[in-house]
Structures are given as C-alpha cells and as structure tokens.
C-alpha cells in the first residue's frame, strides 16, 4: 500500500528527495512507532476543507461515540457538522445504535448504546468550535488543507493522524484578492485535459484578457460581469449557449448574497460585448468575403513557414512571441468576429422563430448539413477519399490491420511503398498529412503530438472507413446531406409563407437560411489557423530543444514542454536549466491528469456544478444539451482517446470531449454523446453537418453508460435512454 501511494501521488522516480535513484522503492526506510493508546469516548475525522465541494473555508467533522473504528468500518452512521468562520451552519445528528470499544481480551468490540444516547449529539458546540480551531492551526502549520483523525477523552483532545487532502482541485492562482468566481476555459475549448507549461503559456498569449492557472488548466475570472446586471445578462446568455451547466452554476452563485455583492443598475457598467455579429454585406457577397479572409490566413501561414527558418536562439523565441500577437490581431479582427457571430446569430434566429411560428424544434440542425467551406468536416470527408485509394490493395490493408493489432507502425506511411499499391497509398496519406498534419487530440496545447509527428494515429481512422463505407461514400454522404438541407429550407419557407404576414416572414427566413449555410462553415476556420501556426512554432522550438539537449542543458528534448515560453528564452540565453524543476513539473502534470476540472470554481475553492431543470424523463434516462436533431439507437462505445477502438456501423460514440481531430470518427458513429460541449462547440457543429444525432454536456456519461450497452440517443430533446 505504501508503494502504491507513492506512485499515485508522484513520489516515485524523479523525486530524489524521496527515493534513491539507484535503489528505487527499496531505498525508502520505515519507522516503527511505539505509542501509548488513547481510549476516547468520542472519535472521528476532521477535514479542514469540504471534501465534496472543495470549499477551503468550510470544515467538516464526522463524529461517533467510542473508537473511530465504528466510523471507518461503516458500522455506525456518524454525526456530520459543517463549520465556517467558527459557526456551525449545518449539522446532521444520526441515529447511532452502537459504539465500538476496546475489548478487555484484545481488539475491539461493538456494544449497544444506551437508548438515551442513540439520537443525541456526539459533540457539544464548544467541542465543535475547539476541533475547528485545532484543524485550522494544523492547516497553518502544514501549509495545506488537512485530513485529520482525532479522539476526545476526559483529559482533552488528541490528534491521532494528520495528512494533506490530496483530492482537492487547486484554486486558480494570481487573481484579485477577495471573493472571486472563475469559469473553466477548457470547457469552452472542448479540451479539459491538463496542459503542460509551454502549451499553457502559448495559449495564454493567444487569448485575450487575463487567464488564471489551476491544476494545469486555465480559468477566466467572471466576477466583474456577475456583479453587473447588464454584464451578468450578457455572460449568462453567451455561456448558456456554450454550456448550460456553467450558466446554471453561475446563477446559483448570484443567488448567494453573502458571496458577491450585486451592484445597482445605475452603478453598473454595460457588460462585455464583442460586437453585434452583423456581417455588413449582402448574403450573396458572403462567399467572396469569407474566401478573402481564408486566403489572408493561408498566406500568413505560408509566410510564417518561410520566415521562421531564418531564426534561432533567443531571436526565434522573440519572433514567435511577435507572431502570436499578429495571430491574435487577426483572430479578433472585427471582420473575423462578425463572420463567426453572423452565422451563430442566424442559427439562433432560425431555431427560435421556427419554434415560435411552426412549433418545430432545432430546425437549423438539418439546414447546416453539407455546407461548403468547413475545413473540419472536409477533413473527415477527405480521409474517406484516402481510404478509397487504399481499399483496392489487399497488402496495404493487411499492413494497416496488423499495425492496429500489434501497435507497431514504425516507418508509416513510407513503409507502405514496399507493398503492392503502397506507393499510391503512401502518396495519398502524405498529401492528407500535408494539409491536416497539424491536427491532434488536445491540439490547443502546442506540446501535444501532431499527426505529422505520429502518422500512425490515422491507422484506426482508415480502418474504420474501410470497414464502414463503400467506395465513393464521401460524395454520396455530402450530396445526401445537401439535398436534405435544401428540402428542409424549402419546406420551412413554404410553411412560414402561409402564416399571417407570411411573405415578409418567409423572405427573412430565406435570407437567414442563406446567411447560415454560406457562413457556418467559417466557424471552424480560426481554430484551424491557430493550430496551423502552433505546428510551425513547435517544429522550430524542437530544433532549439535538440540543440539544448546536445549541449547537455536539458535532460531530454521534451523538457522544454515543462517550461513557459518566457522561461525557455531564459534557458536558451543562459544555457542553464534546473533539472529538478523540470522533474517536479512532470510529476505535477501526472497528478493533474487524474483530476477533472470543475466548470465553475470560487476563490474559496468551492467547485459548483450546474443542473438541468426538472424534466419528465424515462426511468434511468440521462439528460444533456441537444445539439444535433434526430434519434438513433445502437451500441455504446466508450472512448477516452480516438485511438481506443475502431467504431462499427451500429456504434454510438461516448466520450469526455471531442476536438477537430475526432472529426473522421464522427462519420462512423450512429450518434455522439459527450460530457462537455455546447451548441457551437466543435462536436455540435460537425454532428449537425454530418446529420448525426448528438447530445453534449451529459455529466459523467463515460461512467454512467457502460461499454457495449444498448442506448437510444434523442438529439432533439437531449435525452439518452439506457435500454
């Protein structure tokens, strides 16, 4: 158990102050403690932070009569007391039918409690206050929230054990003092994995406004928006569309008048705004304008690829920092923002008005199928074309299947040239990688392995396409979706025209549909532009890493991932690096990987979860946000990574989150369920374009749904039935 604890909590290799490098766990010494036993009349545990919510200001005491064995063994239900600032604000006095006491012959025995004590409090108010203060003193001494075991005798209070609480999510660092509210950036970006320091620093530079780090993730302080009526309305509206559970969590905080003070209307600001989203041109001019924005972005990336080759050392770091500013300027250019918001506004307008006028839910979902110019959906379709090249050559297919089975794909795809038809297959794959090789899971973290660095990531995707589709499926699927969208548009316009003031409403509906179909594809382009530049930066930075490794400045090339970009510049300049710091950050990253970030967290460390409203659901059903209409029934496939398995035609994808790298998998899925997401996040946009039912924001879906279970996904209502 001791070895397991050291491994789980990062006290393993690389932690020289814990273990000897040469002897590993055998170097750890064990002490034998000879200690006088305490025979308390009351015992229990004390947490100096609420282990359920993470609130560092709340202490939680569990208490039983007699020895603590009654509590830890589960034989006795404890009293539970919650205390904040010396005040016990919540208590549950349980019925305690027995207590555990020392046995005169050794060991312990369970004895029935006198009837008069069974429903009485274990601790007095004075003892509760004493315990809380005792815990705060221990917390101050050890420098972290503590999990303590205690015993109370006639002589007084005894501390029996004290250790840090290792399960608390860290509080965001560096924010303004006082009561603050933070929202997870990862839930907005569909990437809740922890980021390494280099990835964190580059993404922070790309973002607008301050971002605060906690547990390897970024958070944004939304307190100022919450205290302003106008700002709060804007924030809840935006986040409600992105992630309803975040909105509900924030609404819960606002109702707590003791945490943040709401200012009056006359003292409030106008809140945050990023423009109206009105694309100031006629719908027929939209394609030309968007093409201009895309061409401008493509030219900037090609220019970057050429220019960056001339830089090295600190000059390279400076060049990258300057280019990130150019990238940010282009991302937040008013034309770029209005193009994105224009499509989003059209989407919302259609859904809201078609429901009001025709009683039809999620009408815009079908309208976004098979639009032109979506760089992400094209990525999925074009991999189907690569599979069409491969499917004619049995030797190539045999290699792919063997590589998938054994996990050995050294030299892929060049090794294919040794097989019949392999040269054509290799060229098709390399052409695909030339266009999409910058993509990968968790791609907003520059340190993640790109497809161009590990082409074998495409093998399970290709095998899935070979198994699930016939040749030419790309064009058939695209045309089928396009026809469905056009028929839907004609139907909606025809039905609206029959209404009162129908001609005017129909004309506006037609205009909104045209704007939606011509602009929604651009929604995916800015992220494509970001990761394209990140891939160029990474390639250049790894050249510097190789030079540092050759000079024995860093222990390995990936050590630079555990430095911020600013720290890396200092290392490049000084040729000095603290290897122990690198080791410590590696260990911290491994710990962070085991944590799931909260959607909302306060400066007190309280993690707040939102909840969907009360709904009449089938027994055992799960609820989430409906983002792509339709109903599908099939077999659940739980995938934590896109390399976990090859989807089959009856499979429903269930995962934590998806980003653009998952797009090719969507084509093989009957439906999609994710724990994270919103109406306009990647998975929702692509599911709608491919015509796949999808429900997102389903809490703990990967745990509550079992592998292979038959389920029914209703992407119109946001309901998942377990069959």
Catalytic residues: 682
Q: What angle do CA 233, 236, 237 make, to 5 degrees?
A: 80
- Which helix (H) or strand (E) is 633 found in, with range? strand 631-638
For 400, phi then psi, to 5°, come to: -60, -45
Q: What angle do CA 192, 589, 654 make, to 5 degrees?
A: 30
Give the CB-side neighbour count of residue 33, counting CA atoms within 13 A.
Answer: 5
Of 535, 537, 526, 533, which Cα lies nearest the Cα of 682? 526
Tokens of 669: 């899925």
Q: How far apart are CA 468 and CA 650, in angstroms?
A: 10
Tokens of 191: 């990437």
Tokens of 325: 């500013």
> In whole angstroms, how far apart are CA 128 and each of 120, 131, 315, 629, 632?
14, 5, 61, 54, 54
**Cis peptide leading into residue 413 (ω within 30°):** yes
Of 699, 700, 705, which Cα lies nearest the Cα of 723? 705
Q: How far apart are CA 547 and CA 545, in angstroms?
A: 5
Give the CB-side neighbour count of residue 453, counting CA atoms within 13 A.
Answer: 15
- Sheet strands (E) in 296-407: none
Q: How far apart are CA 465 and CA 472, in angstroms?
A: 11
Tokens of 552: 């024995």
Beta-bridge partner residues of 578: none
């Amino acid at each position: 158990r001791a070895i397991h604890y050291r491994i789980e909590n990062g006290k393993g290799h690389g932690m020289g102050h814990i273990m000897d490098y040469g002897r590993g766990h055998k170097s750890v010494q064990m002490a034998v403690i000879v200690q006088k036993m305490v025979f308390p009349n009351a015992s229990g545990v004390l947490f100096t932070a609420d282990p359920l919510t993470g609130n560092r200001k709340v202490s939680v005491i569990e208490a039983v009569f007699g020895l603590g064995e009654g509590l830890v063994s589960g034989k006795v239900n404890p009293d539970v007391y919650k205390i904040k600032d010396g005040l016990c604000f919540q208590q549950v006095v349980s019925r305690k039918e027995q207590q555990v006491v020392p046995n005169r012959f050794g060991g312990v025995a369970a004895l029935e409690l006198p009837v008069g004590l069974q429903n009485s409090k274990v601790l007095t108010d004075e003892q509760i206050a004493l315990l809380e203060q005792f815990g705060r003193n221990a917390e101050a001494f050890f420098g972290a929230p503590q999990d303590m075991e205690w015993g109370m005798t006639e002589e007084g209070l005894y501390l029996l054990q004290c250790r840090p609480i290792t399960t608390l999510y860290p509080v965001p660092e560096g924010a303004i003092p006082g009561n603050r509210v933070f929202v997870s950036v990862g839930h907005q970006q569909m990437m809740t994995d922890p980021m390494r320091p280099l990835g964190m620093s580059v993404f922070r530079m790309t973002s607008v406004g301050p971002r605060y780090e906690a547990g390897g993730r970024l958070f944004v302080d939304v307190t100022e928006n919450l205290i302003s009526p106008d700002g709060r309305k804007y924030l809840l509206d935006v986040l409600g569309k992105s992630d309803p559970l975040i909105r509900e969590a924030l609404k819960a905080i606002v109702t707590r008048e003791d945490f943040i003070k709401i200012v009056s209307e006359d003292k409030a600001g106008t809140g945050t705004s990023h423009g109206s989203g009105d694309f100031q041109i006629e719908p027929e001019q939209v394609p030309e304008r968007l093409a201009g924005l895309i061409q401008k972005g493509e030219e900037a990336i090609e220019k970057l690829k050429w220019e960056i080759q001339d830089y090295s050392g600190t000059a390279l770091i400076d060049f990258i920092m300057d280019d990130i500013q150019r990238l940010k300027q282009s991302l937040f250019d008013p034309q770029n923002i209005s193009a994105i918001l224009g499509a989003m506004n059209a989407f919302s307008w259609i859904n809201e008005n078609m429901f009001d006028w025709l009683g039809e839910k999620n009408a815009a979902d079908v309208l976004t199928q098979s639009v032109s110019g979506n760089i992400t959906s094209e990525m999925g379709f074009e991999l189907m074309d690569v599979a069409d090249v491969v499917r004619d050559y049995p030797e190539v297919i045999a290699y792919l299947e063997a590589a998938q089975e054994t996990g050995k794909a050294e030299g892929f795809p060049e090794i294919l040239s040794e097989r019949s038809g392999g040269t054509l297959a290799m060229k098709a794959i390399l052409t695909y990688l030339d266009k999409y090789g910058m993509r990968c899971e968790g791609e907003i973290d520059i340190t993640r392995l790109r497809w161009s660095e590990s082409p074998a990531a495409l093998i399970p995707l290709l095998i899935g396409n070979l198994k699930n589709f016939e040749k030419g499926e790309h064009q058939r699927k695209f045309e089928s979706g396009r026809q469905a969208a056009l028929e839907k548009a004609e139907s909606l316009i025809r039905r609206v025209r029959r209404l009162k003031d129908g001609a005017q409403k129909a004309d506006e509906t037609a205009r909104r549909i045209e704007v939606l179909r011509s602009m929604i594809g651009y929604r995916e382009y800015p992220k494509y532009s970001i990761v394209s530049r990140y891939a160029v930066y990474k390639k250049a930075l790894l050249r510097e890493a190789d030079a540092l490794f050759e000079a024995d400045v860093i222990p390995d090339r990936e050590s630079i991932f555990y430095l911020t970009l600013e720290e890396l510049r200092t290392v490049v300049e000084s040729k000095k690096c603290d290897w122990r710091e690198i080791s410590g950050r590696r260990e911290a990253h491994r710990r962070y990987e085991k944590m799931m970030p909260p959607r909302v967290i306060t400066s007190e460390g309280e993690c707040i979860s939102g909840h969907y409203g009360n709904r009449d659901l089938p027994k055992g059903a799960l609820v989430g946000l409906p983002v792509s209409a339709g109903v599908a029934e099939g077999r659940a496939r739980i995938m934590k990574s896109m390399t976990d398995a090859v989807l089959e035609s009856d499979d429903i994808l269930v995962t934590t989150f998806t980003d653009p790298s998952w797009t090719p998998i969507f084509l093989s899925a009957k439906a999609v369920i994710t724990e994270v997401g919103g109406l306009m996040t990647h998975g929702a946009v692509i599911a709608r374009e491919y015509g796949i039912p999808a429900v997102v924001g389903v809490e703990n879906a990967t745990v509550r749904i079992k592998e292979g279970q038959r389920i029914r996904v209703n992407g119109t209502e946001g309901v998942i039935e377990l069959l």
